[in-house]
Amino acid sequence: MAHRVYEGNLYDALPPELAGRVKLMVANAPYVPSASLSQMPREARLYEAPRALDGGVDGLDVLRRVADGSPTWLAVGGHLLVESSAAQAPHVATHFSRCGLLATVTYCKPLEATVVTGRKPFAP
Domain spans, the chain: 22-119
Q: What is the CA radius of gyration of the chain?
A: 15
pLDDT digits (tens, 9 = 90+) for 70-79: 999 999 999 9
Domain 22-119 listed as CATH 3.40.50.720:
no
Tens-place pLDDT, residues 75-102: 999 999 999 999 999 999 999 999 999 9
The model carries a pTM of 0.88
Strand 113-119: give its sheet, edge to edge. Answer: 22-27, 74-84, 113-119, 102-108
CA distance 17 to 72: 11
**What are the distances in angstroms from CA 53 to CA 9, 21, 38, 59, 70?**
15, 29, 11, 9, 21
